[in-house]
C-alpha cells in the first residue's frame, strides 16, 4: 500500500504475496465474441469536438454504427460511412474517386470539421484500399483548414477498444515537439472526469497537465524527451509505443479505478514531480475519504459475490483488482482479449494470488467454464449477455463500462453500483 493511501480510510486487503505477476495464463485461440474497433468512434467523436470520423466501409459497418450510437441522433452526427459498393470491389479507382467525392461533399457542408479521420474497415482492408495514401492526398487538398488522418477500426483481429488505440496512435506523429518537462494523461476520459483530474493535479502542485485526446484538434498536447505520461486506459499499447518513439516516458501505475488505483495513479505523477508527501496527502484526502465512505456503503452488496469476466474491453484486470480489493468480491475467472504485461504489471501484482487469468477467447470453452462455476455475476459482451440471462445468470455489459465515467474518486461508488445494481435487481426478482 502506498504511503499516501495509508492516510485515508480505505479498506484494502494486503497485497497477496507475489499477486499474479508470474501467474500462469490460459491462452485461448478460438471463436471470439467482440465488437470491432469502429465502436470506439462512439465515444471518441464526443470527445474531440471538431473531428469527424468517416468510416470507409460497407452497409454492415454503417448499420453497426447506427445501432451502437443510436443515442446520437439528437446532435449533428460527427461520424458517417463512405459506402464501398460491390462494384468498387472490381476497380480501386472507383473506390478512391467515390471517397474523394464523399469527402468534398462532407467538408463543403460542414466547415466546423477541422480533423477528418478516414477509418478503415474490413471491406476497405479486403480490397486493400490504401487509406494512408488517401489521407495524404486529401490532406494536401484541404490543408491548412482540415487535417486528414487515417486508422483502422477493422474487426479483423481487433477488439472494440483498440479503435481508440489506433485513433490516438494516429494523432501522435502530429503532436508538436517540446523539451519542457510536461505531464500527459493518455486515453479518452469523460469531460467531467478530465476536469476533476485537472483540479486534483493542480491541488497536488502539477499545474500544466495535457490530455490526449484533446477536446479540440487545435489543442493537441506537446511531446518530447521530458514528457511523462500516465495511461488512463489499459488498451493503448500502440499509442504508448508511438509516444515513446517521440521520447516520452510512461509513469508506472495502476489505472485510476477505485480509491486505491486512483491514489496510486496520482501518486506516480507526484513522485516524478517531487511533490512532498504531506502536500500530496492533503490534496487527495478529501476526495479519497469521500469515495471510501461511499464504497463502504455499497460493499455489503458485493462482498463475497463471485464474478466472472469474459474478455471484451481490456478493462477486466483493473476492474477485477478494484472489485476484489476494495469490495471483497471473489474472482472466478478474469478473461482479457490481450494481456499487456508491462502496462498491467502493477495491476497483476495487486490481484489475489491464484486468480484464474485467461487471454484471448474460445467462447464455447469459456461458456462451459462459466456455466460450471455458476458465478453471481458475469461481465461480457452484448452478444453473450442475453443468452446467459436466459440461462438465469446475472450479467453486466462490458461496453457500458467504457461509455460510463468510471475513473477517479468521485466515480468509484458509481463504478461499484454498476455491479451492485444487477445483483440487487436479481435478488428482488427472486424474492
Ligand atoms: S469493420 Fe468489419 S467487423 Fe466492423 S462492422 Fe465493418 S465489416 Fe463488421
Closest CA to 159 of 344, 349, 340: 340
Pocket lined around ligand 1, Cβ cut-off 6 Å = 36, 38, 57-58, 60-61, 64, 121-122, 153-155
Burial class of residue 385 in the structure, from the number of CB atoms within 10 Å of its CB (0-12 exposed, 13-18 middle, 19+ buried)? buried
Cα-to-centroid distance, 62 and ligand 1 (Å): 9
d(CA 197, CA 185): 9
Residue 268 or 67, more confident: 268
Atom from ligand 1 closest to the CA of residue 64:
5
d(CA 322, CA 347): 9
Cβ atoms within 10 Å, residue 59 = 12
In DSSP terms, 223 is beta-bridged to: 177
pLDDT over 50 (residue 6): no
Q: What is the mean pLDDT of the chain?
A: 90
In DSSP terms, 131 is beta-bridged to: none
375-425 per-position pLDDT tens digit: 999 999 888 999 999 999 999 998 889 989 999 999 999 999 999 999 988
pLDDT over 50 (residue 10): no
On the question of a cis peptide bond just before residue 135, with omega within 30 degrees of 0, the verdict is no
Residue 78: per-residue pLDDT: 85
Q: 227 φ, ψ to 5°?
A: -90, 130
In DSSP terms, 51 is beta-bridged to: 115
Q: Cβ(26)–Cβ(357) under 8 Å? A: yes
pLDDT over 70 (residue 9): no
Helix, strand and coil percent figures for the chain, each rounded to 5:
50, 15, 35
d(CA 320, CA 352): 10
168-224 per-position pLDDT tens digit: 999 999 999 999 999 999 999 999 999 999 999 999 999 989 999 999 999 999 999
Burial class of residue 136 in the structure, from the number of CB atoms within 10 Å of its CB (0-12 exposed, 13-18 middle, 19+ buried)? middle
Cβ atoms within 10 Å, residue 49 = 16
Atom from ligand 1 closest to the CA of residue 63:
5
Nearest CA to ligand 1 atom 6: 61
Residue 98: per-residue pLDDT: 85
Amino acid at each position: 500500500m502506498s504511503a499516501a493511501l495509508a492516510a485515508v480510510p480505505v479498506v484494502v486487503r494486503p497485497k497477496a504475496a507475489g499477486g499474479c505477476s508470474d501467474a500462469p495464463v490460459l491462452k485461448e485461440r478460438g471463436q471470439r465474441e467482440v465488437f470491432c474497433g469502429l465502436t470506439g468512434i462512439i465515444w471518441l467523436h464526443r470527445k474531440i469536438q471538431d473531428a469527424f470520423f468517416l468510416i470507409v466501409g460497407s452497409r454492415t459497418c454503417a448499420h453497426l454504427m447506427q445501432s451502437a450510437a443510436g443515442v446520437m441522433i439528437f446532435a449533428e452526427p460527427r461520424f458517417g460511412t463512405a459506402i464501398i459498393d460491390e462494384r468498387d470491389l472490381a476497380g480501386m479507382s472507383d473506390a478512391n474517386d467515390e471517397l474523394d467525392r464523399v469527402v468534398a461533399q462532407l467538408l463543403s457542408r460542414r466547415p466546423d470539421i477541422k480533423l477528418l479521420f478516414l477509418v478503415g474497415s474490413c471491406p476497405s482492408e479486403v480490397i486493400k484500399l490504401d487509406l494512408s495514401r488517401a489521407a495524404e492526398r486529401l490532406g494536401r487538398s484541404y490543408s491548412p483548414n482540415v487535417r486528414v488522418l487515417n486508422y483502422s477500426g477493422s474487426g479483423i483481429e481487433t477488439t472494440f477498444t483498440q479503435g481508440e488505440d489506433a485513433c490516438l496512435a494516429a494523432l501522435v506523429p502530429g503532436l508538436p515537439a517540446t523539451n519542457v518537462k510536461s505531464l500527459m494523461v493518455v486515453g479518452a476520459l469523460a469531460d467531467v472526469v478530465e476536469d476533476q483530474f485537472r483540479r486534483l493535479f493542480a491541488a497536488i502542485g502539477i499545474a500544466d497537465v495535457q490530455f490526449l485526446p484533446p477536446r479540440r484538434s487545435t489543442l493537441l498536447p506537446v511531446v518530447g524527451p521530458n514528457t511523462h505520461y500516465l495511461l488512463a486506459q489499459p488498451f493503448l499499447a500502440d499509442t504508448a509505443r508511438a509516444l515513446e518513439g517521440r521520447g516520452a516516458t510512461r509513469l508506472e501505475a495502476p489505472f485510476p479505478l477505485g480509491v486505491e488505483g486512483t491514489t496510486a495513479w496520482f501518486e506516480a505523477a507526484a513522485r516524478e514531480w517531487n511533490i512532498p508527501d504531506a502536500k500530496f496527502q492533503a490534496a487527495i484526502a478529501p476526495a479519497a475519504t469521500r469515495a471510501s465512505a461511499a464504497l463502504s456503503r455499497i460493499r455489503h452488496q458485493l462482498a463475497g459475490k463471485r464474478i466472472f469476466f469474459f474478455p471484451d474491453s481490456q478493462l477486466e484486470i483493473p476492474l477485477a483488482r478494484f472489485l476484489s480489493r476494495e469490495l471483497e468480491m471473489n474472482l472466478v475467472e478474469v478473461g482479457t482479449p490481450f494481456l499487456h504485461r508491462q502496462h498491467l504489471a502493477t495491476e497483476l501484482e495487486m490481484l489475489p494470488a491464484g486468480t484464474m487469468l485467461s487471454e484471448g477467447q474460445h467462447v464455447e470453452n469459456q461458456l462451459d467454464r462459466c456455466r460450471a462455476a455458476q458465478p453471481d455475476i458475469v461481465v461480457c459482451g452484448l452478444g453473450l449477455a442475453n443468452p446467459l440471462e436466459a440461462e438465469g445468470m446475472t450479467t453486466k455489459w462490458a461496453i457500458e463500462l467504457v461509455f460510463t465515467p468510471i475513473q477517479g474518486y468521485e466515480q468509484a461508488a458509481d463504478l461499484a453500483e454498476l455491479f451492485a445494481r444487477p445483483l440487487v435487481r436479481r435478488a428482488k426478482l427472486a424474492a
